[in-house]
Amino acid sequence: MFYIIIKLIHLFSVLIYGGFLFTDNLILMRMKKSLSEEKYNEVRGHFAKFTKALVPKALIFAVASGLYLFYVSFGSIENGFSNFQILLSIKAFLASWLGLRGVLQVFFGIQPFVFKGHLLPFVLVIIIVFLSQIMYSF
């Protein structure tokens, strides 16, 4: 039962984080083309104000709950890694890196060297979700 609760926390926090990236990359970016710069900055300011309180916390919950899910579902290693363990490890690495990057950026103001924006996290989240679906089928 506890595992299911953590998995639900994982899915909802991923939904909030992924939803933010989707809105930012696919909606706000498109609005930039149709709004004046002043109007766009105003809209963006409001978006940032409302999301700043929630999204970084959702990312932390996604990573923390993921680490627990990983610990329980990884399984023992027999004659090297199974395909499931390889795919889950790639997912866990990419997602943990996203988490670390996000926490350093938001809570410590430490910017990554490259790709400071939200496009890279968006692409990585799509890859991570894809991995989360294929990892059980190999």
The answer to whether the CB of 62 falls within 8 A of the CB of 13 is yes
Our finding on whether 14 is near ligand HEM (CB under 6 A) is yes
Residue 80 region by backbone torsions, left for phi larger than 0, else alpha for psi between -120 and 50, else beta? left
79-118 residues near ligand HEM, rule: CB under 6 A: 88, 91-92, 95-96, 98
From 20, 24, 61, 66, residue interacting with ligand HEM (rule: CB under 6 A): 66
In this structure, what token pair is assigned to residue 81? 């890694």
- In this chain, which stretch among 21-29, 37-45, 112-120, 122-130 interacts with ligand HEM, using CB under 6 A? 122-130
Least distance to ligand HEM, CB of residue 130, Å: 9
DSSP string, 22-68: HIIIIIIHHHHHHS-HHHHHHHHHHHHHHHHTTHHHHHHHHHHHHHH
Least distance to ligand HEM, CB of residue 138, Å: 14
- Please give the residue ranges that form the binding site for ligand HEM (CB under 6 A): 7, 10-11, 14, 17-18, 62-63, 66-67, 69-70, 73, 88, 91-92, 95-96, 98, 125, 128-129, 132-133
